[in-house]
Structure 1
Amino acid sequence: MSNAPSTVIFDMDDVLCRYHFHRRLERLSEMTGVTPEFINHVIWEQGFDEEGDAGRYTAEEYHRLFCERIGAPLSREQWLEARAISIEPDHEVLDMARRVKRNAALSLLTNNGPLLKESIDIVFPEVAEIFGVHAHFSCEFDTCKPDPQVFLRLTDHLRAKPGETLFIDDTASYIEGAQAAGLMTHHFQSASKLRPVLEEYGLLI
């Protein structure tokens, strides 16, 4: 196709993997003795985790404040273990990403903070293997999806043209943010629906 993208950006959770948030909460609860409901409330519902995703904290600050908020000690290794438990790799999509890499510049953009960024090779080694230094986290850009600025800052960093960049994500509002920034988009629903899109662009050769 003449309008095939020169750069392709994948989301991570619920695209490259199935994200089982409940498993994460349950493991955190087992480790700390704090109820899953309380952890969810003080970390996610009150917006603390999103602040981390937006680059407000260093990895050390995030870890310290996480423990303070839940009122229990938790090692960095335990936090990473709970995050890893939540990830079920989608090997079909990961294989497509490997093939796309042969035909276009490949990148990743996930709403996540510095603690995961520093240890992605431990938590989700396939991401480190496939995307390498082009695995990007929203905390690097001081804002999160769906803010159009995060897409513009990433494409600028990649020296990619927004209109020649395909963004793949499962969240409708993030797709809308990418479109507002001028990117091409695919609203991910399944590997079987993504494959023909990438094939039509000639990205799976």
Structure 2
Amino acid sequence: MRVPPRIERILFDFDGVLAHYHHEQRIAHLAGYAGAEHERVREVLFTSGLETEYDGGRISTALYLSRLGEGIARAIDEDTWIASRMAGSHADPAVMEQILALDAGLELGVLTNNGLLMAQAIPRIVAPIHPRLEGRVLCSGALQLRKPEPRIYTLALEHLGWDAARTLFVDDVFANVQGARSVGLHADTVTDAASLRQVFKRYRLA
């Protein structure tokens, strides 16, 4: 029988793992704030490629918010942006419960394909586990790479001071899991609380 590796650290994806993300709710929140058409907000954020540029670290937060505000004809500050993201993001209670039950000695972190502002939003969205993260929330915008690019995982490990051999990475996108495995991380696909429970059992974490 194969003995699972000793895992000392877990790196979580955010959207689709720790929280459910609903683009439409976020768009509706911004549209209501700006008095703009729903489709106009979608066009400025997503169709234009603005969100992808920001997530990849190719533009600053100031420029991102400026272009977003110009596009929907109302200035958007950081607090307003975070509020809109929180309107569309909801922590999975069953996932939160499982994470809270993990051994206190396990170090936990987040690696997400999102812009810099998400480092401020994530602790609020997943407030129950925020103390376990202790500032270990890494965004692709800060690393200037996006998953599944292999280099993003090595940069994340370097930043955290973690080694791949003792780290488990979980993501809802299999391509991202493959990217993590390519640099030596233990990695598995997780799409809900049930699949997370199975992964935790496989690695004898629960």
1:56 corresponds to:
58
Instruction: Single out whichever of 115-124 and 85-94 deviates more from structure 2.
Output: 115-124
Q: How large is the Cα RMSD of the aligned pairs?
A: 2.1
Correspondence 1:90-101 to 2 at 5 A: 90-100=92-102
Instruction: Single out whichever of 20-29 and 70-79 deviates more from structure 2.
Output: 70-79
State how many pairs are aligned. 204
Q: Does the 8 Å contact 1:104/1:203 carry over to 2?
A: no
Match of 1:171 among 170, 173, 177: 173
User: Could you report, residue by residue, the CA deviation over 1:18-52 in whole angstroms, capped at 9, with x for unpaired residues?
Assistant: 11111001111111122222222222122211221
**1:192 matches 2:187:** no
Q: Does the 8 Å contact 2:169/2:180 carry over to 1?
A: yes
Match of 2:10 among 8, 11, 14: 8
TM-score by length of 2: 0.88
SS across alignment from 1:44: helix
Aligned AA for 1:9? L
TM-score by length of 1: 0.88
| Post-superposition offset of 1:134 | 0.9
| Post-superposition offset of 1:97 | 2.2
| Post-superposition offset of 1:101 | 5.2
Work out the CA distance in 2 between the residues paired with 1:74 and 1:195: 39
SS across alignment from 1:100: coil
1:132 corresponds to:
134
- Could you tell me which runs of 5 or more consecutive residues in structure 1 were left unpaired when the two chains were aligned: none
Cα pair distance change 1:121/1:189, threshold 3 Å: closer
